[in-house]
Structure 1
Amino acid sequence: MSVVFQDERKIKQGEVIAKLRRMQGIKQEALGKMCPSNFSQQKISEIESQIVIEEPTLEELAVALGVTVEFIKNFNDDNAIYNIQHNHDFKDHAIAHQNHQPIFNETSKLTSLLEKLVQDDSVKTQAILDLTKVVADLAEEVKRLKEN
């Protein structure tokens, strides 16, 4: 299944540059220095506020950010989120695999086992007490029979 989003909004290239820069953890000053034109922090800030960026500047920024110019021009948050959530690669029929490692609450398991152990222990203790009483009763019965 392929979903195509039809979006009438104009893509603000400056905002895309800012998002890509923030995603990569790059500061404006560092991004400026990564470009061949060695832009200042103020210039990067100005570029990020533009709706359309001049092609040569856009090319420099795309290279510095490790993306293509087309990616910046066609960037869409909704498509990006959809692609991340539905990471399908139809070439090899693979889907995203999540490393599923459920967290087991070991303390509740241990508590449950200890409660069962205490319960079993109390049952055994009660059985010993009952047997002790029976032995004492038998001893009295034997003593009485010997006296008769």
Structure 2
Amino acid sequence: MSTFTKPSHIGRKISRIRELRDMKQEALAQALGTSQQTISALENSEEIDDEKLKQIAKALGVSVEALKNFSDEAAINYFNNFYDNSNGTNFGTNNNCTFNPLDKLIEAYEENKKLYERLVQAEKIKWSI
């Protein structure tokens, strides 16, 4: 019996990453300066040359390594770890606010008030000349 493993299907990985990025084949084709049919053919390919892979990775906003090593399981694990819900939020555990947002709002209001008063004063000077 052979222990031959099935080679990684790079086209399927490109397709999954494109779908996860909410990108249509037409958009990827436009980014690569090619046709939708060419993208469809690429996504059905088991192997793609490295130069083309670099262009595709750049258009998808990922690294070539991310393309080559992509798996649905790894993506699920990434999002499960990223959205750790242990403290009741969807932003992980390091989200302690170091300022009072209401204080910042009042500061912005006061600054706005000062700017408005300077503007009114400048208009008064302009029209008095």
For normalisation by structure 1, the TM-score amounts to 0.51
Query: Counterparts in 2 of 1:92-107, with a 5 A limit?
Result: 96-97=84-85, 98-99=88-89
2: distance between equivalents of 1:56 and 1:31? 16
| Secondary structure of the corresponding residue to residue 86 of structure 1 | helix
C-alpha displacement of 1:17: 0.8
Q: Which residue of 2 aligns with 1:114?
A: none
> Which of structure 1's runs of 4+ aligned residues deviate more than 4 A?
none
Q: Given residue 51 of structure 1, which amino acid in structure 2 is its aligned partner?
A: E
CA, structure 1 residues 9+80, in 2 after alignment: closer, same or farther (shift >3 Å)? farther
Q: Which residue of 2 aligns with 1:66?
A: 61
Instruction: Give CA deviations for 1:6-38 in whole Å, capped at 9, x if unaligned.
Output: xx6532110111111111221111101112xx1
Which of these residues, 52, 64, 70, is aligned with residue 75 of structure 1? 70
Q: Does 1:57 align with 2:57?
A: no
Instruction: Give CA deviations for 1:54-95 in whole Å, capped at 9, x if unaligned.
Output: 1111111100000000111111211221232234xxxxxxx8
Aligned-residue CA RMSD (Å): 2.0
Q: Which residue of 2 aligns with 1:111?
A: none
Q: Does 1:40 align with 2:35?
A: yes
Q: Does 1:13 align with 2:10?
A: yes
Which stretches in structure 1 are left out of the alignment for 5+ residues?
Answer: 1-7, 88-94, 101-148
Q: Give the percent of matched residue pairs that are identical in Structure 1 and Structure 2.
A: 35
Which structure has the greater CA radius of gyration? 1
For normalisation by structure 2, the TM-score amounts to 0.58
C-alpha displacement of 1:99: 2.2
2: distance between equivalents of 1:81 and 1:13? 19
Which of these residues, 15, 26, 31, is aligned with residue 28 of structure 2? 31
State the number of aligned residues: 84
